[in-house]
Amino acid sequence: MRQSVHGLRQYLRRFIRPARLGSLRRTQPLSHDFGYDRGTPVDRYYIERFLAEHRNEIRGRVLEVKGPLYTRRFGRDVTRSDVLDIDAGNPRATLVADLAAADALPADAFDCFVLTQTLQLIYRADAAIRHAHRLLRPGGVLLATVPAVSRLAFPPEQAPDYWRFTAAACSRLFGEVFGPDHVSVRAHGNVLTCMAFLTGMAVEELRLSELRAEDPLFPLLVTVRAVKR
């Protein structure tokens, strides 16, 4: 039996060029911190490129989750910056609520909602999207990003990480709330950037041409721009 398996391997090697995994032939990632300890995490390239493209819409009264990092970095003519968190212990939070049950938060209050890498942590993601819509003023813009491929955000015993999203799922989830004509969805990434992100490589270790290559069959991240009618 062992000889037949060996013979099959020898036969296949005649037709298949063996992959050279090099430093990636390992069962532990290069980084346990998304690549922050090596440079810029790969998903941040797509998130920040998306926000830079829409910086003119990060204006007026802006809401962001956890902290105002991207509001400060990409905002234009921001008149007020609010931070939403479920954790009342966050000193930067100006609003404390679960986005999936945010009935106490004011409706029609925000010109822009920057919602990056959050919906995968909310079991009722559909309810969170409805509340995000309710919080926006008419004409307000939601700029959201969600992972298609990612390690878990936290160890399972520490906090739940529920979902990964496709462009098709986002088109339906956001389109049912905002209306399909008011939603723009785009998938970003390719098989290389997916592998790089999972193993903890950094943006600085990839070529720009590799980051810019997009393959709809291998999305790393999905971006959503949704406008309240």
More confident position, 80 or 22? 80
Question: How confident is the model at residue 23, as a pLDDT?
Answer: 86
**CATH, residue 184:** 3.40.50.150
The answer to whether position 16 is within a domain reads no
Give the H/E segment covering residue 185.
strand 183-188
Name the residue type at position 191: V
What's the average model confidence in pLDDT over 39-68?
A: 98
Question: What's the domain range around 88?
Answer: 22-227
Q: Residue 3 falls within a domain, yes or no?
A: no
* Strands across the sheet containing 110-116: 95-96, 78-85, 60-65, 110-116, 136-147, 221-227, 183-188
Assess if residue 70 is contained within a domain. yes
The answer to whether position 8 is within a domain reads: no
In a domain, 13, yes or no: no
pLDDT over threshold 70, residue 164? yes
* Residue 196 pLDDT class (50, 70, 90 cuts): very high
Q: How many domains does the chain have?
A: 1
Percent pLDDT > 70 in the chain is 94
pLDDT band per the 50, 70, 90 thresholds, residue 12: low
> What pLDDT is recorded for position 14?
65
- pLDDT tens by residue, 137-153: 999 999 999 999 999 99
Is 126 within a domain?
A: yes
What mean pLDDT is predicted for residues 187-213?
98
- Averaged over 107-115, what is the pLDDT? 98
For all residues of the chain together, what is the average pLDDT?
A: 95
**Percent of the chain surpassing pLDDT 90:** 89
In a domain, 11, yes or no: no
**pLDDT tens-digit map of 205-221:** 999 999 999 999 999 99
110 and 142 Cβ atoms separated by less than 8 Å? no
The per-residue pLDDT for 54 is 98
Residue spans of alpha helices (H) in the chain? 2-13, 42-53, 69-74, 125-135, 167-178, 191-199, 208-212
pLDDT of residue 22: 87
Q: Give the pLDDT of residue 3.
A: 61
Determine, yes or no, domain membership for 171.
yes
